[in-house]
Amino acid sequence: MENFKWYYVEEVPYYVHCMHTLIHEYLINNGYNSYLSLYSNLDMMGIPVFAKGNNSLECMVNINDPKKLGYKSKEDYLGSNISIDTCIEQEEGLKLLKTKLLNNKSIIVSGSQYYLSYSNNYRNIKYLENYPQTIFGIANHWISVYDIGESEVLVRDAALNYVGQIKLNEFLNFWKGDRFIDGIDTIPCVDNLYVNGYAEINISERLLPDYKKLFLKVLKTICKEYLEGKVLIEDSINYYFGNLALRELSNCLSNIISIRMVKKELEVFERCLLNSKFSRYIFRDLLIESNDILTCMCLNEEITLYNNLIVKLDNIVYMYSVYLARERLDLKIMEIILSKVEELIAFEIVIYEKIDKKLKNINTLER
């Protein structure tokens, strides 16, 4: 948008949480340093994970699960604090937002894509039928508000790569969130979403990090967690982290095809393979940004290798999807796919070992 005078990320990857980008933009617009790849990786989303329940249909890959590893919140490492509140009445809430905008360049608010006219989900029945559609599961959708006029609101939507005006009534419908949409309001956990929510970012100058040291610690932490591999058990679900994630996924798939070839079960693993790409994308972003700001090491070779890894994983996912689309399931093709997964795991371990070797004198993040 030509007349939009504030900094914003022009192309936001779809696997980056909308809130992360908005915080990043807020900090830069207020004169602070910020690095987008740190947010997801401080949430440990760059660590592969695979979760397995009591049967093959209870398998999933959720990029939020690595938070279970017990590290501090990203705000603790970044010297910031995000406070979230809600407004009971929208009329009073609008007055509050306008007041806060007098002292801030923007304010972050929650809501639902279903009521945003620039969204593909705008009053789209498929949004309701396939809910939730995002890789983050049931979650608030966040946008930044830069100005509130008599009939229009100037917004920035990082997830949908939008900057512009929307009608005030459209904004008010959005602000209510998914909890007010018939058909999904009764889905478990939807009642945990915010209604008329807003977030404020508070910065503690004395707690702002040395970013070069922080990048090194984040790299070291993710490498360590990947190479060690952990298994956590919670509510009868086993969580496999790091190099164990894809290995356990492969083992489960191997067990299924050795007993029976059931398409419904194989489709579950298609989603798991697809979602396993996101942690790799997120860690690759960290490698690239680390390489840009760290003067103490060069990661060009590792980035090239990691890009090759992602291409290999993309090819496996594509091959698996084509395989499932066939009318008849062929055991030999499945065995080829599993063999490629094993090769990928070995290749990935080598890359992490190369990175970790360069970080041998670096400490991990404090818990």
Q: Residue 89 pLDDT more than 90?
A: yes
User: What's the mean per-residue pLDDT of the chain?
Assistant: 92
Q: Residue 330: what pLDDT?
A: 80
* pLDDT bucket at 56, cuts 50 / 70 / 90: low
Query: Do 204 and 79 contact (CB within 8 A), yes or no?
Result: yes
Tokens 């103490």 label which residue? Answer: 296
Q: Residue 104: what pLDDT?
A: 86
Q: Within 10 A of 243 (CB to CB), how many other CB atoms are there? A: 19
Q: Residue 94: what pLDDT?
A: 97
b/e sequence 62-87, b meaning 16+ C-beta within 10 Å: bbebbbebebeebbebbbbeeeeeeb
Q: Which amino acid is at 149?
A: G
Rg (CA), the chain: 22
Q: Residue 1: what pLDDT?
A: 45
Q: CA torsion sign, 184 to 185 to 186 to 190?
A: positive
Give the strands of the sheet with 141-148, arranged side by side: 80-86, 197-203, 107-111, 141-148, 152-157, 162-167
Give the strands of the sheet with 49-52, arranged side by side: 59-60, 49-52, 237-241, 231-234
CA pair distance 206, 229, nearest whole angstrom? 35
Tokens 């095809």 label which residue? Answer: 257
Q: Residue 8 pLDDT more than 50?
A: yes
Q: Residue 259: what pLDDT?
A: 74
CB under 8 A, 24+ apart: contacts of 14-18: 14/159, 15/63, 15/135, 15/278, 15/281, 15/282, 16/40, 16/158, 16/282, 17/136, 18/141, 18/142, 18/143, 18/157, 18/158, 18/159
Percent of the chain with pLDDT over 70: 98
Q: Residue 58 pLDDT more than 90?
A: no
Domain borders along the chain are 18-34+80-203, 211-358
Q: Residue 3: what pLDDT?
A: 63
CB under 8 A, 24+ apart: contacts of 309-314: 309/280, 309/344, 309/347, 309/348, 309/351, 310/277, 310/280, 310/281, 310/284, 312/340, 312/343, 312/344, 312/347, 313/273, 313/276, 313/277, 313/280, 313/344, 314/277
pTM given for the model: 0.92
Please give the average per-residue pLDDT across 315-343, as a whole number.
90
Q: Residue 261: what pLDDT?
A: 65
Query: Quick one: tokens of 246?
Result: 């894809």
Three-class DSSP category at 190: helix
* pLDDT bucket at 172, cuts 50 / 70 / 90: very high
Range with lowest mean pLDDT among 20-29, 214-223, 248-257, 326-335: 326-335
Query: Do 267 and 30 contact (CB within 8 A), yes or no?
Result: no
Summarised one tens digit per residue, pLDDT across range 20-34 is 999 999 999 999 999
Q: Residue 18: what pLDDT?
A: 93
Q: Residue 332: what pLDDT?
A: 87
* pLDDT bucket at 331, cuts 50 / 70 / 90: confident
27: which residues sit within 8 A by CB, 6+ positions away? 33, 34, 80, 201, 203
Element (H, E) at 174: helix 168-176
Query: Quick one: tokens of 40?
Result: 């997801």
